[in-house]
């Protein structure tokens, strides 16, 4: 878990008082069909529920998985930030197939991006990676 996933963030809102809400964007460090790991400076506790969406940055139109809910199962402090392990909460049956399809699409694109990134870094001649 040493590198953020490419072009993928989680977005959620935090209430501050009666009328003010803050939009928070957090980097993701792991994602599978069961949950994710995100990093933020906001403080949550294990057992808290988080409502959020995932946004994957794409050249023409971003891919979004909206209406996600997750149970925070673990918190690890790192400098002034926290890594949170989040288990997805099953959505109601009318939303379930749409959210599952959105998550699957994000995971598929993410796998392709990571595969391209690893090929680029391992397939380049040394003279290109390290200028003399």
Neighbours of 10 (CB within 10 A): 24
Q: What whole-number distance in Å separates Cα of residue 108 and Cα of residue 92?
A: 24
pTM: 0.81
106 in helix, strand or coil?
helix
Using one digit for the tens of pLDDT, what is the confidence trace for 78-112?
888 999 999 999 876 666 678 888 899 999 999 98
Q: Give the CATH fold of the 8-119 domain.
A: Thrombin, subunit H (2.40.10)
**Residue 21 confidence (pLDDT) above 80:** yes
The domains of the chain are located at 8-119
Q: What whole-number distance in Å separates Cα of residue 113 and Cα of residue 132?
A: 29
Q: What is the pLDDT of residue 15?
A: 86
Mean pLDDT of 17-27: 90
Inter-CA distances, 102 with 2, 33, 53, Å: 25, 11, 10
Answer yes or no: are the C-beta atoms of 109 and 56 closer than 8 Å: yes
Q: What is the pLDDT of residue 1?
A: 54
């Amino acid at each position: 878990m040493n590198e953020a996933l490419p072009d993928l963030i989680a977005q959620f809102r935090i209430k501050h008082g009666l009328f003010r809400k803050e939009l928070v964007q957090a980097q993701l460090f792991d994602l599978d069909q069961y949950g994710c790991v995100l990093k933020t400076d906001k403080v949550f506790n294990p057992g808290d529920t988080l409502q959020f969406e995932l946004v994957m940055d794409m050249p023409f139109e971003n891919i979004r998985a909206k209406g996600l809910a997750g149970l925070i199962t673990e918190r690890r402090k790192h400098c002034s930030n926290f890594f949170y392990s989040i288990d997805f909460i099953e959505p109601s049956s009318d939303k379930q197939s749409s959210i599952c399809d959105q998550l699957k699409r994000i995971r598929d694109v993410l796998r392709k991006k990571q595969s391209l990134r690893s090929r680029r870094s391992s397939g380049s001649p040394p003279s290109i990676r390290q200028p003399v």
